[in-house]
């Protein structure tokens, strides 16, 4: 039986820190809604199916103005999320039914790319649990309730966690079921759920993503994401021009070779 890989794209957040009055996932970045970029990345990937989790009142809007408008054929259903991220992930997992692996991604991270998805799939097959992130560039301080420094962990052991976060489906679904049964409301990360409620024999592997793989949370992030999207488009354009130049050079060389051969 062919393995099944499903992606869950989370778009149910309210974006309170954005201060824009509209959910951040629908803010326009370079003529497209923010969440468009994550959905597009999965649409052109080996992922078989995408579950979009959004606000209950936004399901019809997402269907008409995002999924249908941009022809995202891999989005098989749109699911109403919960008030907190962990609730939305659980509702997304519960809607899947059967799968081998699941990639859980924040829709507010528009710089997801094919290379990150490829590394996710390779590593989740190998380790059963892997999380995208990058080594911390900054020194991190642990503080007390009054914001006095308590300790300074070694920077070489600290990673900034990103998404996708990728798991054997049954493994993460069982962990989330235990989380929901426990009443614990502190989970902010899927790897954390597996660490606390999953099979203790399975460790979460950290794999490198990209420092560009930012989460859009504040107005400043919108400007940064817009610049990154623009730069990516320019890179693709230049890459295509480069390929065409190489192709034309090869054609010219072939023509010269066969002309000399005839002489």
Q: What is the pLDDT of residues 162-193, one digit of tens each?
A: 999 999 999 999 999 999 999 999 999 999 99
Residue-wise burial string across 34-67, b where 16 or more C-beta atoms lie within 10 A, e elsewhere: bbbbbbebbbebebbbbbbbbbeebbeebbeebb
User: Per DSSP, what are the bridge partners of residue 167?
Assistant: 102, 129
Comparing 227 with 110, the larger pLDDT belongs to 110
Residue labelled with tokens 């900034």: 160
Residue 12: the pLDDT is 82
Helix (H) or strand (E) holding 56: none
CATH fold group of domain 5-218:
Spore Coat Polysaccharide Biosynthesis Protein SpsA; Chain A (3.90.550)
Provide the pLDDT for residue 41. 97
């Amino acid at each position: 039986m062919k393995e099944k890989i499903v992606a869950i794209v989370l778009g149910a957040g309210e974006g309170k820190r954005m201060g824009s009055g509209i959910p951040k996932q629908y803010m326009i970045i370079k003529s497209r809604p923010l969440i468009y970029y994550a959905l597009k990345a999965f649409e052109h990937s080996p992922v078989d199916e995408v579950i979009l989790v959004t606000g209950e009142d936004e399901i019809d809007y997402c269907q008409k103005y995002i999924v249908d408008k941009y022809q995202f054929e891999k989005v098989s259903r749109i699911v109403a999320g919960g008030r907190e991220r962990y609730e939305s992930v659980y509702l997304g997992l519960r809607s899947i039914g059967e799968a081998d692996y699941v990639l859980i991604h924040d829709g507010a991270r528009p710089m997801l790319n094919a290379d990150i998805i490829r590394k996710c799939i390779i590593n989740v097959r190998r380790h059963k649990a892997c999380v995208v992130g990058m080594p911390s560039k900054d020194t991190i301080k642990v503080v007390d309730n009054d914001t006095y420094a308590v300790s300074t962990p070694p920077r070489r052991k600290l990673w900034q966690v990103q998404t996708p976060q990728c798991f054997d489906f049954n493994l993460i679904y069982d962990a989330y079921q235990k989380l929901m049964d426990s009443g614990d409301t502190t989970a902010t990360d899927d790897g954390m759920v597996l660490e606390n409620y999953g099979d203790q024999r399975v460790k979460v592997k950290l794999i490198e993503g990209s420092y560009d793989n930012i989460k859009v949370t504040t107005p400043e992030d919108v400007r940064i994401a817009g610049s990154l999207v623009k730069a990516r488009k320019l890179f693709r354009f230049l890459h295509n021009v480069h390929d065409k130049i190489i192709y034309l050079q090869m054609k010219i060389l072939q023509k010269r070779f066969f002309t000399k051969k005839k002489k």
